[in-house]
Amino acid sequence: MSDDPVAGETEGSGATEPAGNAPTQQDFIKARKRRNVMIALSLVAFMVLIFSITAIRLTQNLAARQDAVMEQDANAPAGEEAGYDE
Amino acid sequence: METRSDIALTELVSSRPAEWRDYLSLMKPRVMTLVVFTAFAGYIAAPDSLHPVMAAIAILALAMGAGAAGALNMAYDADIDRRMRRTRLRPVPLGKVRQEDAYGFGIVTAAISIVLMTLAANLFAAALLAFSIFFYAVIYTMILKRRTPQNIVIGGAAGAFPPMIGWVIATGSVSMDAVILFAIIFLWTPPHSWALALYKAGDYADAGVPMMPVAKGAKRTRLEILIYSLILTPFALAPVLTGLGGVLYGLAAFLGGAVFIILAWRIFDSRAGEAGSAEEGALYAVRAGDKAARDLFAYSIGYLATLFAALIAEHAMGAYIATPLGGVL
């Protein structure tokens, strides 16, 4: 018994030969392959989106932190430097 | 009534294996286009903005959310879609996509859209998106649609959320202007949907959906269309009072609203929706008596698109011209 659900649908039915406009087993396999390709592309697109969001958030947060440190330095009394607690 | 060619077409199409395009059509691409358009208008009209890439991802998430709601709607409504001429070639009634697959697709897409919205914009926008999907798929589709002729009035809120979400994407909060944009679409939905329902009443009656013309009759529907039009068109001028819209928007709302009222009056004064329908003709063919309804249905789409296009043009091009009334409220 095949593990292929598509093959399973037609097993024993003899439906592998085209009959008029009826779709063949090959048509179902091709359609499934096209669907799988679209799922793969969607997953890649999702990863790209998440990566883009992460990169932009990191850039924005680093810039904001740099601005905050510079502002703190500018407001600090002479001779003192702002920094992070160690 | 199905013609022989309709049956042949249905049999031919349903015998084909499901393609990715069938899943795309589950998402109601034309509705998604309108959602993106109105959401972009809400975003660009807002006083703040996001990084352009983040904004694009947020709008994409909103489109996906709308698509997910559409897929859930098609999954649940497969039985009545099968009985309606306008909807019987959808993937689920045709048997190309199984009902459970449509549910699964809708739920997964909704989850992804909400996650993306949270990451790209903010939690408030994501919560509004989640609520709008729930509102459309559960409140409207599963509860209201088959129970009350007011289905489209209350359910119209789901379609009114996008510009408000667009605003929240940019600002992280809701303001009076965002509520006004919501209300414009909310008030626009009943005359728009009932105009269609008037000349497709037979379709809805066959499916047992109590749209206004089916439940209350054509005369009452024509009156309600006129009443909603008389409320909508002056209200559409509200953005001019708050300063959200400028001269261009004001002109579009005023002139467009005048035409809207004229067409609504023509429906009121006609016999649109009376006895019989155009079921034998082409999909959107209408009898002479229903022409007024068809005209308003078609025009209402252009009217809404023009209002939001005017907002986008004013804010995007920086050609915003304050009116003497600007910022009164």
pLDDT digits (tens, 9 = 90+) for B95-121: 899 999 999 999 999 999 999 999 999
Residue B270 and residue B210 share a domain: yes
Interface list for A 52-81 with B (CB within 8 A) = 52-53, 56-57, 60
Q: Which residues are CB-contacts of B94 (< 8 A; sequence separation ≥ 6)?
A: B10, B13, B14, B88
Nearest CA in chain A to B22: A35
DSSP assignment letter at B290: G
Name which residue leads in pLDDT, B139 or B284: B139
Total domains in chain B come to 2
Question: Which of A3-7, B257-261, B316-320 is least confident?
Answer: A3-7
- Say yes or no: A21 contacts chain B, CB-CB below 8 A: yes
pLDDT score at B286:
56
Burial B162-196 (b: 16+ CB within 10 A, else e): bbbbbbbbbbeeebebbebbbbbbbbbbbbbbbbb
Phi (first) and psi of residue A3, to 5 degrees: -80, -10
pLDDT digits (tens, 9 = 90+) for B239-259: 999 999 999 999 999 999 999
- Which CATH number belongs to the domain containing residue B82 in this structure? 1.10.357.140
Percent of chain B whose pLDDT exceeds 90:
77
Name the residue among B216, B177, B211 with its Cα closest to residue B197: B211
| Best residue in A52, A57, A58 for a mutation probing chain B (most B CBs within 10 Å) | A52
Q: Which residues of B touch A38 (CB under 8 A)?
A: 20, 23
Q: Which of A23, A27, A53 sits opposite B119 (nearest CB)?
A: A53
- Domain span at residue B255 reads 175-329
pLDDT digits (tens, 9 = 90+) for B189-244: 999 999 999 988 888 888 889 999 999 999 999 999 999 999 999 999 999 999 99
Residue B53 and residue B156 share a domain: yes
Q: Which residues of A touch B60 (CB under 8 A)?
A: 49
Question: What is the C-alpha to C-alpha distance for residues B64 and B58, in angstroms, rounded to an integer?
Answer: 10
Name which residue leads in pLDDT, B49 or B111: B111
Q: Which residues of B touch A19 (CB under 8 A)?
A: none
Percent helix, strand, coil in chain B (nearest 5)? 75, 0, 25
Contact B19 A34 (CB under 8 A): yes
Contact B17 A28 (CB under 8 A): yes
Residue B166 and residue B86 share a domain: yes
Residue B194 and residue B318 share a domain: yes
Residue B266 and residue B213 share a domain: yes
Contact A49 B17 (CB under 8 A): no
Look-up: residue for tokens 């093959």?
A7
Residue B316 and residue B188 share a domain: yes
Residue B180 and residue B157 share a domain: no
Of the residues B153, B174, B195, the one at which a domain ends: B174
Residue B190 and residue B164 share a domain: no
Question: What is the C-alpha to C-alpha distance for residues B220 and B272, in angstroms, rounded to an integer?
Answer: 11
Q: Which residues are CB-contacts of B227 (< 8 A; sequence separation ≥ 6)?
A: none
Residue B137 and residue B101 share a domain: yes
Q: Is A14 left (phi over 0), alpha (psi -120 to 50) or beta?
A: left
Integer-rounded Cα Rg, in Å, for chain A is 30
Residue B268 and residue B170 share a domain: no
Contact B119 A28 (CB under 8 A): no
pLDDT score at B318:
72
Nearest CA in chain B to A41: B20
Q: Which of A31, A49, A57 sits opposite B17 (nearest CB)?
A: A31
Name which residue leads in pLDDT, A35 or A10: A35
pLDDT digits (tens, 9 = 90+) for A43-61: 999 999 999 999 999 999 9
Residue B166 and residue B44 share a domain: yes
Residue B144 and residue B27 share a domain: yes
pLDDT score at B277:
47
